[in-house]
Amino acid sequence: MSDLDSTPLPARSWKLPARAMPVAFAFFMSGIMAMLMSLVITAANRGFSDGYLQAVLSAYSLAMPVAFCCVMLVRPVVIKLVSLTVHAP
């Protein structure tokens, strides 16, 4: 056994750099909201009948990219509105 075998490998970081935070936030926010809205709207329109899950996934496949683009577009407006309505720490 050589010294190379006993040397621990450095841990790989799976985290994105801090500059990716706005995009990561938009991705997770839009993904969660699009799924919730797809679940609720599909249930309201069709009920919980046969094919409900397939209809939800079909709606989600359209809603997710649209929601992601919308979050990215309105983010600057929302940041400005929050700064106008909330005291800075």
Nearest to 56 by CA among 33, 40, 44, 39: 39
pLDDT of residue 13: 80
Side-chain-side CA neighbours of 1 within 13 Å: the count stands at 3
pLDDT of residue 83: 94
Residue ranges of the domains in the chain? 22-85
pLDDT of residue 50: 94
pLDDT of residue 4: 57
pLDDT of residue 89: 84
pLDDT of residue 1: 53
Q: Report residue 9 CA to chain centroid gap.
A: 32
pLDDT < 50 regions, the chain: none
